[in-house]
A and B are shown apart, each in its own frame.
Chain A
Amino acid sequence: GQQVMQIPQYQHVQEGEDFTTYCNSSTTLSNIQWYKQRPGGHPVFLIQLVKSGEVKKQKRLTFQFGEAKKNSSLHITATQTTDVGTYFCAVITQGGSEKLVFGKGTKLTVNP
């Protein structure tokens, strides 16, 4: 079935450093979504990318969708302690269902 590989699994940074997490698929994706889960919380939708080469920004967060629509990245500039949590990418499965397949997530910790 549809799978998406997300790396790295863990990332520790000093406050103020940048952070990037990557999602890769062996097949072309129709779209990709990103979610953030704070420690002890539930996933919260951040953004959806649909177009080849698309770049979207939300304040210090930059999301990219690859030209071939097989990979995506989330980059955080100058991390803050409020950025801690696990970031997941999610993709729609092939076929007619509305199932999302989630990457295993990247857990970000920020040292103040």
Chain B
Amino acid sequence: DGGITQSPKYLFRKEGQNVTLSCEQNLNHDAMYWYRQDPGQGLRLIYYSQIVNDFQKGDIAEGYSVSREKKESFPLTVTSAQKNPTAFYLCASSIAGRRNTQYFGPGTRLTVL
């Protein structure tokens, strides 16, 4: 089946630890995105990548890092510098092009204790 997978669905970490969230897609999409969702805040863009080995900061990139070594994969690292990391993280992908729709993965709910 084609789609986007994110793992794990739930993740718990201690404060001060870095954590990496996985995002894989087999849709052959060029563009991939990471969003953070908090209650009542909608979706806020963290990072996005339009092509392999290239990525750009979104609106709330501080405390996060990404890599795009393969077309299929766009992992997100939540570093200890992120002041309030507890949130629902969504990965999405799209065909390159400004009018193309985004397909979302199931999300990872991160809780930092």
Q: Chain B contact residues (Cβ within 8 angstroms of A): what range?
A: 20 to 34
Q: Which of B44, B45, B106 contacts A41 (CB 8 A)?
A: B106
Please name 11 further chain A to chain B contacts, defined as beta carbons within 8 Å, in addition to the given A97-B48, A100-B45, sorted by A numbering: A1-B59, A42-B104, A42-B105, A43-B43, A43-B92, A43-B104, A45-B102, A50-B99, A102-B42, A102-B43, A104-B41
- Structural contact, A42 and B106, CB atoms closer than 8 A: yes
Q: Which 5 A-B pairs have the closest CB atoms?
A: A104-B42, A42-B104, A102-B43, A45-B101, A102-B42
Count of chain A residues with a beta carbon within 8 Å of a chain B beta carbon: 26
- Structural contact, B96 and A44, CB atoms closer than 8 A: no
**In the assembled complex, which residues on chain A have CB atoms less than 8 Å from the CB atom of B56?**
97
Q: Could you list which residues of chain B lie within 8 angstroms of chain A, going by C-beta atoms?
A: 31, 33, 35, 40-45, 48, 50, 56, 58-59, 90, 92, 94, 96-107
- Structural contact, A44 and B104, CB atoms closer than 8 A: yes
User: A28 at the A/B interface (Cβ < 8 Å)?
Assistant: no
Residue of chain A at shortest CB distance from B42: A104
- Structural contact, B40 and A48, CB atoms closer than 8 A: no
- Structural contact, B48 and A9, CB atoms closer than 8 A: no
Residue of chain B at shortest CB distance from A1: B59
User: A20 at the A/B interface (Cβ < 8 Å)?
Assistant: no
**In the assembled complex, which residues on chain A have CB atoms less than 8 Å from the CB atom of B102?**
43, 45, 90, 100
